[in-house]
Chain A
Amino acid sequence: MRSLYGKFIAMTAAIMVISGTIAFLAVNTYYHQYLKGQNDEKNMIIAKSVASFIQLNEGLNLEDYLAAQSAMGYKLYVVSERREAKLYGKPFRIENLSKKAIDQVLNGEVYHGMGNLPSETFVTGFFSDESANTVGAPFIYGGERHALFLRPDIKMLFTEVHYILGGMVLVMAVISLLAMLMVAKKLIDPITALTAATKKVGEEQFTGTLDIHRKDEIGQLANSFQQMTEKLSENDRIRKEFISDVSHDFQSPLLNIKGYAQLLLDDELPEASRKSYASVIQSETERLSSLTKQLLLLTSLDQLSSPLNRRTFDLDEQLKETVRKYRWLLEEKEMSLSMDIDEVRYMGDPAFLEKVWENLVLNALKYTEIGGAIDILLTERENEVTVTVRDTGIGIGEKELVRIFDRFYRADDSRTQQTGGTGLGLSIVQQVVKLHGGTIDVVSQIGEGTTFTVRLPKL
């Protein structure tokens, strides 16, 4: 199985084998470096004491004595002057005692076979059951020189220890693997749950919450996944709502155009009706056109990275220019407009900010009765500029006030039909102001008028 479980088991087994090997090599090196000499000395003392015992007790039955000694856990190898060799105890696994070593001991010297055992990386010196891995000492028995070689019978001495150690290693390995499986399950279960949740989100199902409560990295992942899902769900809802709003807002003018165009086909239509129908078609077309423009603008404002193209420009000039553009509308509605404008150079996106002033001024113009007044203030403070657009218009009700910045929201649908509003203007205003790090406030009283205050921080 190519799952994480298999990988966990394989990894654990591999780690055990590798660590075992490394431990063996380390211990073996330690034996060859430090313990080998000590072991040699220890056994040499034993060999010497055995040799001196034999020499001191003339009447000793050598055969019996050596057999008894070997029974205590030693392998003894005795060679006489006449090269008669006899082994007491279990045979060596490898018979490789050199003739030279035997001669040496027969000549009265001692043999340090353990201490001089060649260091081989992959052979345990301590356990190496070979006749060369012994210590040798001379003794004289029955007037004849003998050479005694001995080493402990490891197998006999340590069989139980071997079983105990081996059993421990085995149990540790099994328990480690089982524990690893359980740990893996704890890790893998939430990942499986996350995978299932991801698939659901992929199929645009945003319902259902993840049942993962952990404080570690997986818990964090689950948390951020949950947040992402909620955000996606919210976006999805907004998008669907937006599309339905857009379709509605495109559909109704199109229906009007279709209907009035149909009426215009009538040959006997009086001139006055013809004109009025044509003007309906014209105004609906204008509405569609401004709707498309504003949608494009909103889309560019919705980009993830800041769409602002900041530069320093004369904010006062821009405001005056905007007012100038609607001078004819002021005249048409016999309205007056006062401006109290500081000279302000501001660092911002002039193209987008122009839309803000246009929308605010045009709204004030649209929703103010004939003969009304508009005041525009531009004040520069230490770290912000404030633009206030105040009108003496029809005002906005308290209930509507909280929703005026929502896309496609219109305070009064019937009035919008006359004014040609798209319900997007104030969304654009708010979005642009927000992108500049500013705020927009609105105060309004039905029948008294409305005041919009835009605060833009200076960079």
Chain B
Amino acid sequence: MMKILVVDDDPNILELVSIQLLQAGYTVLKASDGFEALELLETDLPDLAVVDVMMPRMDGYKLTKKLRAEADIPVLLLTAKGELEDKEKGFLAGSDDYVVKPFEPKELLFRINAILRRYDKVVDVFIEAGPLKINRQSYEVSVGKKVLLLPLKEFELLSVLASRLNHVFARELLLERVWGYDYEGDEQTLSVHIKRLREKLGKLTEDVKISTVRGVGYKLEVSS
């Protein structure tokens, strides 16, 4: 079970975020400021930290730097609206992502999921395939200034295919890498996702194609 450290000086937000994370199936560690968080770190090792930017004594950026340096765990920052311009500062401090307050619980869970998923997989953060750029940090696919946001399953599928150009990936392998070992769905799901991916890629660029290798699987090709 994933363990998440939540740091916020506002007890109400701390409680609310904790309950939401508990309901989503995570184990939660709570700290009301940076020092308390670092103390907790001596006895426990969370998989991810959710950190509020505005805190007395030690602000979120400073705590992020320390968390990165001492335990190397991913950090999600909670920022207030006015601090939007400071998100660069957050990334510089080493945070992985941010959520702007007030947020939907589902938005927070989506962001946490995305970070954990990224750390779970042994795939590069940035993948390039011809004109195609895949950013596994922001979960964006882009060609030039055109940006495409895909459902995560389709995104994972494309990432795996793009990780080795022209390499034929067997259907079973793709199912396993994207849906997991315990996936029990039929192979039809894969075909549907490949079909959707092809349509969307086609709109983005004509130079990158997913071709079918009969009886085996799929590969990603870059023309010219």
Contacts and interface: CB of A to CB of B under 8 A. Distances in A.
B151 A338 contact: no
Contact of B104 (A328, A330, A335): A328
A321 B146 contact: no
A254 interface: no
Nearest to A317: B84
A341 B106 contact: no
Dominant SS at the B interface?
helix
B109 A328 contact: yes
Q: For A328, A335, A337, which residue has the most chain B Cβ atoms within 10 angstroms?
A: A328
Interface string B2-27: 00000000000000000000000000
Contacts of A371: 196
Nearest to A351: B81
Contacts of B153: 334
A336 interface: yes
Interface in A283-338: 320-321, 323, 325, 327-332, 334-338
Interface residues of A, number: 21
Contact of A328 (B106, B150, B196, B204): B106
A84 B203 CA distance: 139
Nearest to A337: B149
Interface residues of B, number: 24
A371 B195 CA distance: 12
B145 interface: yes
B151 A330 contact: yes
A350 to B, nearest CB: 10
A456 interface: no
A441 B65 CA distance: 48
Contacts of A337: 148-149
Interface string B180-224: 000000000000000010001001100000000000000000000
A340 interface: yes
Interface of A: 320-321, 323, 325, 327-332, 334-342, 371, 373
Interface of B: 84, 100, 103-104, 106-107, 109-111, 139, 145-154, 196, 200, 203-204
In the A-B complex, the 3 residue pairs with the smallest Cβ-Cβ separation, listed nearest first, are A328-B110, A339-B147, A337-B149
